[in-house]
Structure 1
Amino acid sequence: MEWVLIGAALVAWLIYRGRKQSLAEEAPPRSHRPVQDWSAPTSERIASPQQPWQDPRSHPGRRFTDGSNQWERRPVTASMFAGDSGRQPKAPAKWIASGESVRVAGVSINSGMFYLGASFAGKSGAENCLVDPTCQVGSVRGDPEGKTLPYWPSYQSISPGARRTYLEWLAGGRNDPSIGIGYVFIFFYGLERRLFIDEARTEAPALAAEVRRLLALHGENYSFKGYASKFLDVADLMANPDISRPALSPDLRSGYEMPLSVRLHLGRKLGSKLPFDSTDALLWVLSLPDTQLRTPAARCFEELAELWHVRFASRYPDGLKVNSPRTKIKIEYRAASGGFGGRVDLSDSELGPLPDVAALSAPIDGLRDLLNACTDELAAYSRLLGKKPEAKGTVEAAFLLPKEILTSGSGTGAAALKRVDDLFGDHRIAGVKVTRLTQALGMEIPPRGKLGAGLCNQIGALMDKLDVGFEPDRRYGSRGLEADGYILLFKAKEGAPVDGESAAYAAARAMVEVAALAAVSDGKVEPSEFESIKADIRSFPGVGGVERGRLMAYASTLLRDPAAQQSAIKKLGNIGADARASVVRAALSAVLADGHAAPDEVKFLERLYKALGYPVEDLYSALHRGSVALDEPVAVAPETRTTGVPIPAQPPASSSGGVRIDHGRLERIKSETSAVSELLAGIFIEEEPTASPPQVREPVAAEGKFAGLDGAHATLLSLLAESGGLDRQAFEDEARKLRLLPDGAIETINEWGFDRFDEPLVDGDERVSVAEHLRDKLQQVRVEA
């Protein structure tokens, strides 16, 4: 019996052994080698241990970048990875929503937004995003850089230590920017599946927001940036199917294609046959795959966009007209996991399939040239901000901006422009201290003394960009600015530039200096004296309107600033010979116009001759003759002969043979100057540089007429208002009766009108009248007066 049992056991053992060998021959041997990227060449797969590791997503192989092969990879499923212990999946996959708490392998995860479970039931697509709780997890973190992760990673395929790293990354809110990009892709696979397989359209905004956050942390990886950008295009379209214009950004470019949002917006414009405006054109050129923004454009993007709008409007005043291509917009989404893909319908409800602007190339070169030109204009400004970021918004930075930005009233130049505008108030002319202007410009200057030439020129260049002129302006022959001096600001295009070296302008400036010096000689300036100077400027030959305006501003500064008067005298010696002769003739003509020459006037002329380099003896000769004789005789007044006046006999020669002086004649010359003795008195007092400026008398209010206007101008304005207007000749006659210069009277009345109504009051060439819409306001002012 024992032998029977032994034989039966032996037969059973032989049968079992044969069956085991048969099973072993059917099953392939288990490989214990690490997972490799078999898409790479053999030389890349079998790398020497000494070779540095490179992330395959930053340096993809040929299969990843060559045509459609990147999609021809076998989907990864949970059945391929049953877990380290070989256990079969038990729990179905579940989406863990944002904010939902779970615990996996002892790790508490509160951030959600991933799939948890052993397998997906009844749905296609890859399962490489699934956090399988049946997989073994290491006790410590391993491979945080993701060096051991395969080319297309999955949670099931990575090592236990890498699973621990991934779980702790999820628990930490996915905020570690140094985590290996493979872990980011595993998480990203789940977001793709949630939006496109589960069709969670209501979650599209939240999913897109999370991808944008990850893109900000890991956007330097070109592969992830490409997939994430494509995801955002479609997610945004799902969240908001209405086509809208995307915001301008220096980071519009994404991957090898234009952003879908830009293509849709511009495609709708093309389909509607509408021209592109400046924003459309900038969106187009910024989103092109081969557009590379240079440093000035990226650093100063707001200024670039503002300058672009100005330059584009100048080049394309009616917008950019673009011919619509035949190619229509098509998009096929291929998941980064390779588990699914599909086509998205992009037809417009009204226009149907939209033209694809990405198929166009004709206008691109012109737009790129414009972008480069704008970038070049901001180069100096960008360099300053690169060295001193805190300089943004200062006058130093504003000085480097193109004029169009500085005067646009918005953006970077707005602050500087507003501070200067505040100096004007409601007027177009403003007289202020130099210190007040520099404070408005944010400049620091010494409390006293002259400003350097470089600083004066810098102020001038900045004011030119603000369309503000000023005097004294050393660039046009005036003296430099004094820290405690006076400056007259006036609004003028490009700062009212003139040719300060032209002979006509230099002569006119010298005439203004002499006339202004004469006006302030008695320590006060009458309004009629300033009107006389302005009339002389208007009648001076060879100067235009801009030159006249600047000369009037220059005269105003001379009348108010004693230091400017002293400087003007010194500069008179540097003018040309013809101009000096004109100055002397003008001065003598003014002095002798009434036939008198007072001692103070003679003193003034003596100093003037000395300043201009003429012998003082020539002055005495001219005074004796009653005319000017320098290079040639100059007639002061035409000769008028009368009858009945005998010619005195020639006196007999003195017995001594010397020159006889007519003391009576000299006394008569001295006594005949009393009428204008105050005109030029004390003009060359050099020892009083800090004396207070002469006071300009304010016009006296006309009783019962218009407050702020003197009697003559108020009377003339009343006549215009009551008569409904006068023709030019009648107006000039009335002005002369009131001892007013016609053009000067119009200017004075209009200046008063600007003060009251912010606009000119009187206008007309052939007929002078009060503006019709201001008649009622004028009547109210008159009643109030």
Structure 2
Amino acid sequence: MNVLKGFWHRLLQLIRGLQWLWTLDQTYRPRPSRPPLAEIDPREIAPLTAAAPPEEKAPTARWYRAGEACQVQGISLADGLIYQGLAPRSRSACSPFLLDPSLPLAAAIEGPVPLSTAAPQAYADLSPQQRRCFLEWLAQGRQAPHIPVGYILTFIAGLETRILHLLAQPPDLSNPVEELLTLLLELERLYHCYLGIEAVSTWCHQLLELCQVQLARSCQPETLVALLPQNELPLALRVALGLRVQQNQTLPLCLLWAWYGSSGATTSLRTPAKRCPQEFEALLMIHAPASFRLPPDRPVLPPLILTYRSPYSLGPSRSEPWTPPPALEVVRTLEVEILLKTWDPLQPWLERVTHALDPYSRFLGRNPDRRGSPAAVAWLPPEIMTAFGNETVRTLQTWLQQRLAEQPWALVPGRELIHPWAGAGVDKLKKKEADLLRQLLAGFGVGFEPDLASTGTVFQARHTVVLFRLDSQVSHSSAPSADWDVAIAAVEFLAALEMQRPQTETSKPLGENLPLFQTLKLRSEEKVRLEALWIARQHRALPWRRAIAKLKKLTLDEQQRLISLLDQLPTPPPQAARWEDLQHQIRLGLATAEPTAPAPDLADLSAKTDSTPDAPPGIDLPPASSPALALDARLLQARHQDSHGAAQLLAEIFTEDTESPGDGSSLGALPQINSALGLDVFHHQLLQSMGQQILWQRSELEALAAEQGLMLDGALENLNDVAFDHCDEPLTEGEDPIAVNDWVYQSLQAA
């Protein structure tokens, strides 16, 4: 046994010796030298690779603008205005309010989940149930009424972070300004939605001022005014005006008017500015200068310094620490309230606009339900007619443009003007309505003939009307020229002569047919209107008696100018004899007539002879050269005086118990004649009484006629004959009740 143990011991020593010899051989064996680097093939060098770090998702956190939709763990947020995505490893100011989709979220909740404090919370610090509640409030439009205030403040804190980021951008960039507008609108919405929560309304108000200040520095004045709240003095307006005063710039009109309205100064304005504020502002912006220079002796203004401090301090969250921004000086400018209380550059312009809108304001005061109608728009200044008219006004303006698109004048049926104004069933406008229609069309730069202002008559639906363009540079409300009445009377007279000629669709211009009109002292717009009247009368001239009546209404001086005008008329060959005869008659009639005489003298009546059968009706013929019977005018006058004395004597003897009808004159007195209408005093008095109302019972008019000693039917027939002669229409219509045509009555009164 001992022999065996010795054998194994010697064998183990032998193995250890062989191992030691092999190690010596490997250590001291000579090695081949290393070749030069140039001889090494780069492909033989194995690449060195480091250990790959654990896989990490790239950060995706960003700001979603208003209306930009996103999804957070299956919940759709369509309105934007949030930070969402995976947060980067580095610290970020948006991290506390970042909606991180990697954080756990509860599957469902029942009702709002309360928070531990009524202050902003970091999204990472919320529990899964609280995150679910916050995301559902965002998804439902951020307007749920019963929501813990901490969720609302957390959302507002994210808006604050974005606003402060935009304030750090250059103010001339358009994108920050546009985004500030959207943030301002969202803050206003939250302010009104949660007005009862003081913490929300206070913070929203501070951020709104912050946005307003930035907009005042960056926006154009017109854009800024459109964003300002009404009926209050916003901070943005004070800053915008203060910055311009500080830099000695001109003050824009829109900013001054906004200050005027916000500071309560409009309460001192008169009724037009209060009754029609939109029309007032539009007209002011057109007429007043676009900007005003500062007064050289302006007072020293105190500084206006605005700072902002976040009302909440969000403590360190479990995820990342966050500190609210320090106090920030937003703007340093001047306080302009003192300046604008002592300097009012708008006052003279406000007076002008008030005067221009006064007729329109009075019309709206009587007709508050007709705003925008054609009758209301007719009282507006032409500059703003289109902007404040209704669909009827816009349709009428389009129709006028189409009619006068490629020609200076156009012939249209009268119904195409009357029906849009008064309705399809109306055939004639009243005098006041015709005046308003003329004002409305003049505002659109269009005139028409025959017009009430020039001819004294109102066209009807069946008549032909001439539309023509007016000169936009001319004031059409100025008084007519001295020769205007003469020119109108001459056109009416000459058109009546032309009635026997065939009517054509077109007529030669007045300047070619009647060169003598160029000698009259007329303005250019009056010549255009005169030519339009001439064209209209080619289609419907006045009756001969009415044309002569117009001539006799002229003054003596105008009659003399008309006679001189007629002497220059060219003689048409087809009607030479009749032309000379009528020309002679009218010259003689005008020269001997006295339009203002109350009654014709008997001596003048005795000199007149019977008219020939061939003469047109209504024309006074000259006295015969050799009368068949000579009357002694002095003897006739003496007989008349004797008869008058006898009538007075008989009236004293045969006195009735009751008062005599009429105006109380004696029975023998001759009735006075109204020379303009040809009515005696009784018919004239009845006409005056009928004008008191437009609808009479027959018994009432019979009583009025009896007071004048007249029979009603005969009196109405006489009055209607006079109305036809002067107005081409009857005075009354109907049997019982009896309607009085107001326009005819007014025309007879003006005659």
- TM-score, L = length of structure 2: 0.49
Calculate the TM-score normalised by the size of structure 1: 0.47
RCO higher in structure (CA 8 A, sep ≥6): 1
For the pair shown, the structure with the greater C-alpha radius of gyration is: 2
